[in-house]
Amino acid sequence: MNFDLCEEQEMLQSTVRQFAATECPLPRAREIFDAKDGHDPELWRGLCDLGLGGIQIEEAYGGAGLELLDLALVGEVLGESAFPGPFFGHALAALAIGLGGSEEQKRRWLPDLASGSAIGTIAFAEGDQMWQPEQWGLEASEGGTRIEGHKCFVPHAGTADIVVVGLAGGGMSVVERDCAALDIKESAALDRTRRVAEVEFTGAPAHPLPEGVAASGRVRDAGLVLLAADAMGAAWRCVELSVEYANRREQFGTTIGHFQALKHQLADMAIEVEPARGLYWYAAHAFDHVPDESARFAAMAKAHLTDRAMQVARDAVEAHGGIGFTWEGDLHLYFKRAMFDRAFLGSPEFHRARAAELGGW
Amino acid sequence: MDLRYDDDHERFRTEVQTFLSAHWPPPDRGDDTDRKAQERAFRLKAIEAGYLARSIPRRYGGSEQPADVLEAAIIREEFAKAWAPGDVAGLGPSLLVPTLLEKGAEWQKQRFVQPTIMGDIMWCQGYSEPNAGSDLANVQTRARLMGDEWVINGQKIWTSVAWLADYMFCLCRTEPEASKHAGISYLLIDMKQPGVDVRRLKAINGASHFCEVFLDDVRTPADWIVGERGQGWDVSRATLKHERNMIGGATQTLTYWDRLMRLAERTQKDGRRALDDPRVRDRLAVIEGYVRAQEFSAYRQLSKAAKGEKAGIVQSMNKINGTNTGHLIVKLALDLLGDEGLLEPEAFDPVTSPDVNTAWVARYMQTLGAAIAGGTSNIQRSVIAERGLGLPRDRERDQSRQARRPSQERRS
Ligand SMILES: Cc1cc2nc3c(=O)[nH]c(=O)nc-3n(C[C@H](O)[C@H](O)[C@H](O)COP(=O)(O)OP(=O)(O)OC[C@H]3O[C@@H](n4cnc5c(N)ncnc54)[C@H](O)[C@@H]3O)c2cc1C
């Protein structure tokens, strides 16, 4: 048995980490956070030049042909860097087309998605916590080729070229952004590294994915794993930032890391997070290799890790005192990132209930 | 123990109701300026009648009523029902006024108490500095007595509402030769003067309530000192005690609890009210245990105080108890919310903002601020362990005192 990353995977993470540290250090992430539209085309270009736009897209369509675990490992590093931009929605859109599209559709969209010259996103949510394929109610007319209706919490809808829309019955259709039959209204996103919008489809021409019904649950599961990975990265960075701060900040004539109460709190934060790293690895691995456990562990990883991340982000603010409570410090990016990971695609409570059911309890 | 409303109290309730129906609301509310004036006029009448400013002596503009928890509860209930203005809120009335009443000079009480409780002047609290947070006694802002004035130089940080404040009550180092705690004085400063530079800081929830305050040759008269030179530390502890009671008081917990119940009623879960879901009910019931405990603990402390007795260790627990219960409340609220957790709150004031779902996102963050402001939860735990339970002080903190004194106190 070898439950560990291979050398290539470690390289992949360190390449992305290096890229994020040089191209988007936290001060830059904060600028984008505060900017009006929150998208930096240069940064996206740079990410795609590393091949990260199509990690899991088949090589035949210009991707790297890797697995969900590789994608999630990248997601973790982006979470750790509070990296702004469309990565999450883009990856899911590509996955949806890869899993559910016809040969012709794949040829039409995947190469551009893989190179990053087109940005993808997913339109799943319908409000009132309706995220899941089983819950979708949006109807397509004219044999599924026209969409009229409303979706919300669509990631970076304003910059996306290709939107994968979830439909009643659990199917998915692709809408090309330049069809002009989309009305996009930015929402006041809490996590401004990943903006969301409401989208009104006004008779948009749609391209149904023939295997959409079979693929949509898989896309959701992949999304859950990516959220868990992002939460892992964000939470671990909160631990690191708190430890760094405790080694630097002085009160009572010594660094606060000398106080056992604080030391134990930092250790508890680490205990909450670090052991869960393997949980998202396994969930990602199961997606490609253990079909029976895939859905269940995706749900479990999302519920567990995003809950842990939320608490750890909170603890990190406390460990920083007043400076942690500001918008001008770095922590608030992670705090809000954790809020996103927790709420997007359904609450931890919802997915715990699913995990129990999927376990046959 | 007797908690019944007896005939006297029922009579008192009728009196309050009669008073309110005669004086509130005014026939025509008018614009903002009119409203302010109407509220002020109403408060004066309510003080006159003995319903507001009850703990404040008449000679300083209060109504000086004997502490009576039941009467106070009746006033709160009836005023709330009539939407009538209660006592002015803020750092001045809740922190400075009790401190002045306890430690201030006669002329200070005469001059500052009434305008403060009437809301005519606003205060901010200049304690924390970049290097003096938990270790508050490390304040470095320097005040020198030059002739009949103090000249003050230094920097304060996290100062809530400083940009609105007319005055600041502030800790400064006046005796640099003395030991850490014995070198501090408690000064009152006019904020509207050259040399006071206020920079607003944006908080995690998007609000800009707290500020940096730079003091550059700022002046204040020699007698604007509360207590003696070098006694500022002891005076500040009086303020902190009130601050912790304010943050840990049951009022906010009860408001949050009430709103949590309403959220559970209006949220649908699996086709029924969240309130009917057994998991939610159990968590609510656990929380209510803490909420009611806090409420009755407050009554108990008030009753003791009315008799001039000390409530003991529980008093040092108010703040952290309130912080913890607040956290339980917002955690459940966040679970009930779902999607709104992705959105920025529309309004940042967690108490006065309308009862919309995204207000819980603001409250989720506000309760985190409460765990830091007024002494962090770790510092609270140290106070309880050391002063309450009699455990020894940390060695590190002890060593940071240049000269040890017998007293066991700190900002701690
Ligand atoms: C919303 C808000 C409003 C505020 N308003 C005001 C105001 O109006 N006026 C004002 O003067 N101040 C105000 N403050 C400041 C507040 O009092 C300080 O932030 C607080 O005392 C903590 O100090 P610090 O930020 O320097 O953190 P630090 O003291 O640096 O603490 C950092 C971490 O170290 C821990 N720590 C420090 N010492 C010890 C120890 N001995 N043992 C164990 N753990 C320890 C703390 O618990 C914390 O987790 C406000 C703060 C907030 C968040």
Beta bridge partners of A330: none
Q: What is the pLDDT of residue B410?
A: 44
Instruction: Report helix, strand or coil for B141.
Output: coil
Q: How many helices (H) and strands (E) does chain B have?
A: 14, 10
CA B292 to chain centre: 20
Q: Rg of the Cα trace of chain A?
A: 20
CA distance B96 to B108: 11
How many CB atoms sit inside 10 A of residue A180's CB? 10
CA A334 to chain centre: 13
Asked if the Cβ–Cβ distance from B376 to A318 is below 8 Å, we say: yes
Q: For ligand 1, which residues put their CB under 6 angstroms from it?
A: A 249, 251-252, 256, 259, 261-262, 318-319, 321-322, 325; B 125-128, 133-134, 158-160, 210, 369, 372-376, 378-379, 394, 397
Q: What is the pLDDT of residue B67?
A: 75
Report the amino acid identity of residue B240: L
User: How many pairs of residues across A and B have Cβ atoms under 8 Å apart?
Assistant: 113
Q: Is B314 on the interface with A (CB under 8 A)?
A: no
The CATH T-level fold of domain A7-115 is Butyryl-Coa Dehydrogenase, subunit A; domain 1 (1.10.540)
Q: What is the pLDDT of residue B314?
A: 85
CA A68 to chain centre: 12
Chain A residues 153-172 with CB within 8 Å of chain B: 153
The CATH T-level fold of domain B122-230 is Butyryl-CoA Dehydrogenase, subunit A; domain 2 (2.40.110)
What's the token pair of residue A58? 């088949």
Level-2 CATH architecture, domain B249-375: Up-down Bundle (1.20)
CA dihedral A182, A185, A191, A195 (to 10 degrees): 30
Distance B138 CA to ligand 1 centre (A): 13
Q: What is the pLDDT of residue B347?
A: 62
Asked if the Cβ–Cβ distance from B342 to A153 is below 8 Å, we say: yes
Q: Rounded mean pLDDT of chain B?
A: 89
CA distance A37 to A44: 14
CA distance A282 to A264: 29
Instruction: Report helix, strand or coil for A123.
Output: strand
CA B392 to chain centre: 29
- Tokens 């736009």 belong to A53
Q: What are the Cα distances from residue A310, in Å, to A80, A299, A302, A339, B369?
A: 14, 17, 12, 6, 16
Nearest CA to ligand 1 atom 26: B133
Q: What is the pLDDT of residue B352?
A: 57
Q: What is the pLDDT of residue B406?
A: 37
Asked if the Cβ–Cβ distance from B134 to A252 is below 8 Å, we say: yes
Instruction: Report helix, strand or coil for B168.
Output: strand
Locate the ligand 1 atom nearest the alpha carbon of residue B412 and give its number.
21
CA A89 to chain centre: 7
Report the amino acid identity of residue B293: A
Q: Rg of the Cα trace of chain B?
A: 23
Local confidence pLDDT in tens for the 412 residues of chain B: 666 667 888 899 999 999 999 999 888 888 888 888 999 999 999 999 999 999 899 999 999 998 777 788 889 889 988 889 999 988 999 889 999 999 999 999 999 999 999 999 999 999 999 999 999 999 999 999 999 999 999 999 999 999 999 999 999 999 999 999 999 999 999 999 999 999 999 999 888 889 999 999 999 999 999 999 999 999 998 877 777 666 556 888 888 999 999 999 999 888 899 999 999 999 999 999 999 999 888 888 877 776 778 877 888 898 899 999 999 999 999 999 889 899 998 765 555 556 788 889 989 999 999 999 989 999 999 999 998 999 998 877 777 775 444 333 444 4
CA distance A93 to A223: 10
Give, rounded to a whole angstrom, the gap between the first and last alpha carbons of chain B.
Answer: 34
Identity of the residue in B135, B338, B371 whose CB atom sits nearest the CB atom of A251: B135
Q: DSSP label at B409?
A: -
What are the residue ranges in chain A where pLDDT is below 50? none
Level-2 CATH architecture, domain B7-87: Orthogonal Bundle (1.10)
Contacts of B105 (CB under 8 A, 6+ apart): B223, B226
Reported ipTM: 0.92
Q: What is the pLDDT of residue B298?
A: 84
Domain A120-213 of CATH type 3.40.640.10: no
CATH class of the structural domain A214-358: mainly alpha
Nearest CA to ligand 1 atom 40: A259
CA distance B185 to B233: 7
| B343 touches B274 (CB < 8 A) | no
What are the sequence ranges of the domains in chain B? Answer: 7-87, 122-230, 249-375
Which of B91, B124, B129, B134 has the most ligand 1 atoms within 8 A of CB, as the residue to mutate? Answer: B134
Q: What is the pLDDT of residue B269?
A: 84
Identity of the residue in B369, B382, B400 whose CB atom sits nearest the CB atom of A253: B400
| B77 touches B17 (CB < 8 A) | no
Contacts of A335 in chain B (CB under 8 A): 204, 365
Question: pTM score, two decimals?
Answer: 0.93
Active site positions of B, annotated: 243
CA distance B117 to A43: 55
Contacts of B394 in chain A (CB under 8 A): 259
Chain A residues 259-278 with CB within 8 Å of chain B: 259, 261-262, 265
State the smallest CA–CA distance between residue A108 and chain B in angstroms. Answer: 33
Instruction: Report helix, strand or coil for A172.
Output: strand
